[in-house]
Amino acid sequence: MRVTYRYIRPVTVLYARGNGCYEAAARLAWEKLGGWLVAHNARRHIRRGFGIFRDNPQVTATDLLRYDACVEMTPGLDMAGNAGIARQVLGGGTHAIHTHVGSYGGLGNLMSELHRDFVPRQGLTVDYDRPFMAIHLNDPLLTREVHRRTELCVPVMPLPLAIGDNSACEDPADPMLRLAGSA
């Protein structure tokens, strides 16, 4: 799995929310947002979409999971008078990012592998105070399934050292440490 690290800047988006298991919630949210975009002839204004996974399925009951289907605010995109469509600012921050090309079918498993296995091996920890996200880089209605590009983004922060644990800083070949140890 090829992973990069990048700071993602905050972005203002329009979104529709789906609740329940992420697969069904995502489908519902994207149908609602997609319908709104088509009804307002606004789909042509979209450059990228964001799928926001608000809750950790390991600690949150399935029926309480929240998924937001989002599109970046651009000139010409107005949400006036719409039930079910709202505006929010997605916070930025550093993320471990894997770019997946192909079907959306296995994205959940890839996201789990990225946060459970890969991130800890790199000396980082998952920042569970920020949501996980998928950034969709092309329109699934215009792009064949095998060519769809999605960035899977796990919020990360450096792994903190334990207080009083300076073993990571000790170098047995350092002459200053040998002098300090002999005193």
- H-type alpha helices, the chain: 22-39, 107-113, 119-121, 175-182
Q: pLDDT band for position 81 (50/70/90)?
A: low
Q: pLDDT band for position 162 (50/70/90)?
A: low
101-105, 115-119, 154-158, 164-168: which is most confident: 154-158
pLDDT given at position 82: 67
- In the Cβ-directed half-sphere of 89, how many Cα atoms lie within 13 Å? 5
Average pLDDT over residues 108-129: 83
Report whether 159 contacts 125 (CB < 8 A): yes
- In the Cβ-directed half-sphere of 157, how many Cα atoms lie within 13 Å? 8
Residues 3-49 have pLDDT tens digits of 888 999 999 999 999 999 998 999 999 999 999 888 888 888 788 99
Give the start-to-end residue ranges of the domains of the chain: 4-182
Sign for the CA dihedral angle at 63, 57, 87, 99 comes to negative
pLDDT given at position 177: 36
- Token pair of 150 as six digits: 């999605």
Q: What distance in Å separates the CA atoms of residue 11 and residue 95, rounded to the nearest whole number? A: 15
pLDDT given at position 80: 60
Report whether 67 contacts 75 (CB < 8 A): no
Of 40-54, 108-122, 142-156, which gets the smallest average pLDDT? Answer: 108-122
Average pLDDT over residues 57-85: 83
pLDDT given at position 157: 87
Of 26-30, 59-63, 144-148, 166-170, which gets the smallest average pLDDT? Answer: 166-170
Which CATH architecture group holds 4-182? Alpha-Beta Barrel (3.20)
pLDDT given at position 70: 95
Task: Tell me the helices (H) and strands (E) count for the chain, helix number first.
Answer: 4, 9
- Token pair of 53 as six digits: 């996974």
Examine the pLDDT at 106 and tell me if it is beyond 80.
Answer: no
Sign for the CA dihedral angle at 47, 51, 24, 117 comes to positive
Q: Average pLDDT, whole number, for the chain?
A: 81
- Token pair of 14 as six digits: 């329009």
Give 60's DSSP letter.
S
pLDDT given at position 161: 56
More confident call, 56 vs 135? 135
Give the pTM.
0.80
Q: What distance in Å separates the CA atoms of residue 56 and residue 115, rounded to the nearest whole number? A: 12
Q: What distance in Å separates the CA atoms of residue 21 and residue 38, rounded to the nearest whole number? A: 26
